[in-house]
């Protein structure tokens, strides 16, 4: 699993994030992806081979392992990281769309020199108008995915603690057999760590939502005073796709 | 399997795709290739070594494994991803052919003085999906749909559904009578299978939507061109 290229894709969106968004990305990469790769994979590496049941009955081991570990912690965390990072692509797509519109307008207005187009490519967009909504939706989806995975974790492994011994009586195990989990304490420590960092990420996302809402309110309070209504509306919906009007205003203004 | 190379190839075609095509490419790479790489080694890695049969008979385990798993899920999905990505190369070839024609025209019309600026801008130009390119693009979409559906059906047919059982009963020679054989990590495998099937279905829906969008656009263009009554 090539987390390095994954990180490159996700951090490309970083330029248009808020400060809290950048902190969130660092937390994701340093505390979650790095820890997952460096530590967790070696701790969970022998989870099946070292899962031992007190029986010679062929198949009992496999069946008991499957019953108590329907999906491994490692796969759950990797899926969680992938799904949680994906909403950032919504923002990347919106930014690409806005750049495309800007470039079209520049070309139509006759100012489409290579320099100007390059400037549009590297321009940093402010989180206003339509982009604000896209960004908010992406953060809300992030929160939903994080919480959903925390809940799934709780459903599958209630208590977050890894036990040393499980008692299994599925077919073909004769009666009830004792099965022993490998490295339970180390697994508990990493589970608690990953869940705590997940909680911190949820808090960062909630803080980012509040920050954006606060900023938008402050902006609309400022705007509501001196300017005429028409200019306020055009400011709010500056990047809505309404090209003919936009080009018209460009030529008239 | 170098998925990075495949991504570079497909990324080149992406320039000439519609927006739905670009979303399709993201879904393909983020959800399917990434999950496949994630799941492949760790979940299916020990599928044969941990396949246990309740018998000491030599050869029985091998024969039963081969009977119940003619082709591994992982190999089927890799093949599916390769086949599904290949029609995009049709589009790439058509675009290259058109650009070559335009380059020849530039050189013919300007001769020795053909500016490198013109040739460079031709290289970066984005072609609109009209005319013969529309037909090539639509054919590639159609083939993608056919391959996706074909592989989904193949997976369903070979494994009798998308769920992995814990226990299979095998009576192939040389196994004595009927033996119980146990599959490793069946629940985890079922979860990943359902995930991959759902992503495959999403890609199919995106392809159908793109096809409908292209047809509607072509019809609108035709009606715009036809003379007013």
Task: Read off the pLDDT of residues B192-207 as tens digits, 9 standing for 90 and up.
Answer: 999 999 999 999 999 9
- pLDDT(B19) > 60: yes
Cα nearest neighbour of B3 on chain A? A2
CB contact under 8 A, A66 and B187: yes
H or E stretch including B193? helix B186-225
* Distance separating alpha carbons of residues A195 and A205, to the nearest angstrom: 15
| pLDDT recorded at residue A112 | 60
Residue B166 is nearest to which of A1, A66, A71, comparing CB atoms?
A66
How far apart are the C-alpha atoms of A215 and A219, rounded to whole Å? 6
pLDDT at residue A98, as a whole number: 82
Q: Using CB atoms, which residue from A2, A70, A89 is nearest to B187?
A: A70
Q: Which token pair is A100? A: 């495309």
Model confidence at A60: pLDDT above 60: yes
pLDDT at residue A242 in the model:
53
* Mean pLDDT confidence for B27-46: 83
CB contacts < 8 A, A to B, total 80
Q: What is the ipTM of this complex?
A: 0.75
CA contacts within 13 A on the Cβ side of B190: 15
Average pLDDT over residues B18-30: 82
For residue B174, give Cα distances in angstroms to A6, A57, A100, B59, B170. 48, 21, 66, 7, 10
Q: What is the C-alpha to C-alpha distance for residues B183 and B168, in angstroms, rounded to an integer?
A: 8
C-alpha Rg value of chain A to the nearest Å: 26
H/E run at residue A214: helix A184-224
**CA gap B224, B217 in Å, rounded:** 10
Query: Which residues are registered as beta bridge partners of A177?
Result: A168
* Phi, psi of A177, deg, nearest 5: -115, 155
Q: In this complex, which of A48, A58, A78 lies closest to B38 when CB atoms are compared?
A: A78
Cα atoms in the 13 Å half-sphere on the side-chain side of A52: 5
Is the CB of residue A212 less than 8 Å from the CB of residue A135? Answer: yes
| pLDDT reported for residue B111 | 67
3-state secondary structure of A119: helix
Question: Higher confidence at residue A243 or residue A158?
Answer: A158
Query: For a pLDDT cut of 70, what percent of chain A falls above it?
Result: 82
pLDDT by residue (tens digit) across A21-55?
A: 888 888 888 888 888 888 777 888 888 889 999 99
Among residues A234, A5, A21, the alpha carbon closest in space to that of A136 is found at: A21
Residue B162 has phi, psi (to 5 degrees) of: -105, 5
Sheet holding B167-170, edge to edge: B52-53, B179-182, B167-170
Would an 8 Å CB–CB cutoff place A251 in contact with chain B?
no
* Cross-chain residue pair A71–B188, CB shorter than 8 Å: yes
For residue A239, the 8-state DSSP code is T
CA-atom Rg of chain B in angstroms: 24
- Given an 8 Å threshold on Cβ–Cβ distance, is B30 in contact with A86? yes
If pLDDT is split at 50, 70 and 90, which confidence band does B29 have? confident
A66 exposure class (CB count in 10 Å sphere: 0-12, 13-18, 19+): buried
| Chain A: residue whose CA lies nearest to B184 | A62
Contacts of B215 (CB under 8 A, 6+ apart): B138
Asked if A70 reaches chain B (Cβ–Cβ under 8 Å), the answer is yes
Task: Please say whether the beta carbons of A52 and A181 come within 8 A.
Answer: no
How would you write A151-174 as a 3-class SS string?
Answer: HHHHHHCCCCCCCCEEEECCCCCC
Cα-Cα-Cα-Cα dihedral sign, residues B194, B198, B204, B207 = negative
Cβ contact B177:B60 at 8 Å:
no
Interface contact A82-B186, CB threshold 8 A? no
* pLDDT tens readout for residues B122-135: 676 777 778 888 89
Band of pLDDT at residue B3, cut at 50, 70 and 90 = confident
Per-residue pLDDT at B225 exceeds 90: no
* Band (A203; pLDDT cuts 50, 70, 90): very high
Mean pLDDT, range A72-97, rounded to an integer:
86
Alpha-carbon dihedral angle through residues A136, A140, A146, A152, given to the nearest 10 degrees: -160
A89 touches chain B (CB under 8 A): yes
- Give the model's confidence band at B113: pLDDT under 50 very low, under 70 low, under 90 confident, else very high: low
Which residue did the predictor score with more confidence, B188 or A247? B188
**pLDDT tier at A253, thresholds 50, 70, 90:** very low
Stronger pLDDT, B4 or A231, i.e. the higher one: B4
Query: What predicted TM-score, i.e. pTM, was given to this entire model?
Result: 0.80
Q: What is the DSSP letter of A38?
A: I
Rounded Cα–Cα distance for residues A188 and A138 (Å) = 31
Determine the Cα–Cα distance for residues A109 and A140; give it in Å rounded to an integer: 38
Q: Nearest CA to CA, how far is B10 from chain A (Å)?
A: 16
Q: How far is CA A43 from CA A40, A165, B37, in A?
A: 5, 18, 20
pLDDT at A67 over 80: yes
Q: Residue B41 carries which DSSP code?
A: H
pLDDT bin (cut points 50, 70, 90) of residue B221 is: confident
Q: Contact, A72 vs B42, CB < 8 A?
A: yes
Contact call for residues A52 and A173 (beta carbons, < 8 A)? no
pLDDT at B1: 62
Looking at residue A233, its pLDDT comes to 52
The residue of B21, B47, B183, B187 whose CB has the most chain A CBs within 10 angstroms, and thus the best one to mutate to test that interface, is: B187
Summarised one tens digit per residue, pLDDT across range A104-125 is 888 787 766 666 666 666 677 7
Mean pLDDT of B171-197: 92
Mind telling me how many Å the CA of A69 is from chain B's nearest CA?
8
H/E stretch holding A53 reads strand A52-53
Residues from B in contact with A at Cβ < 8 Å: 4, 22-23, 26, 30-31, 34-35, 37-39, 42-43, 46, 50, 52-55, 166-167, 180-188, 191-192
Share of chain B above pLDDT 70, in %: 92
Higher pLDDT, A6 or A37: A37
């Amino acid at each position: 699993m090539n987390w390095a290229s994954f990180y490159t894709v996700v951090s490309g969106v970083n330029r248009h994030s808020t400060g809290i968004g950048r902190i969130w990305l660092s937390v994701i990469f340093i505390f979650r992806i790095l820890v997952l790769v460096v530590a967790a994979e070696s701790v969970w590496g022998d989870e099946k081979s070292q899962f031992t049941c007190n029986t010679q009955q062929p198949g009992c081991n496999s069946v008991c392992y499957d019953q108590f570990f329907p999906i491994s912690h490692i796969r759950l965390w990797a899926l969680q990281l992938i799904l949680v990072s994906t909403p950032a692509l919504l923002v990347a797509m919106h930014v690409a769309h806005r750049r495309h519109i800007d470039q079209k307008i520049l070309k139509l207005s006759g100012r489409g020199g290579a320099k100007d187009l390059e400037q549009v490519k590297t321009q940093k967009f402010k989180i206003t108008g339509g982009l604000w909504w896209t960004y908010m939706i992406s953060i809300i989806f992030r929160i939903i995915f994080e919480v959903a995975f925390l809940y799934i974790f709780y459903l599958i492994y209630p208590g977050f603690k890894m036990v040393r011994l499980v008692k299994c009586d599925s077919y073909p195990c004769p009666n009830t057999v004792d099965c022993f989990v490998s490295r339970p304490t180390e697994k508990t420590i990493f589970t608690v760590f990953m869940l705590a960092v997940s909680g911190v990420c949820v808090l960062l996302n909630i803080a980012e939502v509040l920050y954006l809402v606060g900023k938008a309110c402050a902006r609309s309070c400022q705007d509501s005073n001196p300017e005429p209504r028409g200019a306020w509306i055009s400011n709010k919906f500056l990047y809505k796709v309404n090209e003919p009007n936009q080009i018209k205003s460009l030529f008239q203004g | 399997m170098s998925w990075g190379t495949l991504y570079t190839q497909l990324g080149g075609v992406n320039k000439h795709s519609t927006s739905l095509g670009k979303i399709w490419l993201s879904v393909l790479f983020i959800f399917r290739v990434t999950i496949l790489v994630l799941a492949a080694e760790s979940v299916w890695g020990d599928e044969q070594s941990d396949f246990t049969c309740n018998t000491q008979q030599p050869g029985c385990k091998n024969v039963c494994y081969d009977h119940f798993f003619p082709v591994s899920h992982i190999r089927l999905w890799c093949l599916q991803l390769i086949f599904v990505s290949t029609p995009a190369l049709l589009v790439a070839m058509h675009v290259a052919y058109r650009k070559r024609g335009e380059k020849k025209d530039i050189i013919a019309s300007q001769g020795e003085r053909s500016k490198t600026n013109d040739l460079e801008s031709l290289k970066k130009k984005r072609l609109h999906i009209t005319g013969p390119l529309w037909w090539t693009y639509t054919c590639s979409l159609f083939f993608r749909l056919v391959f996706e559906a074909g592989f989904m059906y193949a997976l369903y047919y070979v494994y009798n559904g998308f769920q992995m059982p814990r226990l299979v009963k095998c009576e192939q020679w040389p196994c004595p009578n009927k033996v119980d054989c146990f599959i490793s990590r069946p629940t985890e495998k079922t979860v990943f299978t359902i995930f991959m099937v759902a992503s495959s279905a999403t890609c199919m829906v995106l392809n159908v939507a793109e096809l409908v969008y292209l047809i509607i656009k072509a019809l609108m263009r035709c009606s715009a061109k036809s003379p007013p009554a």
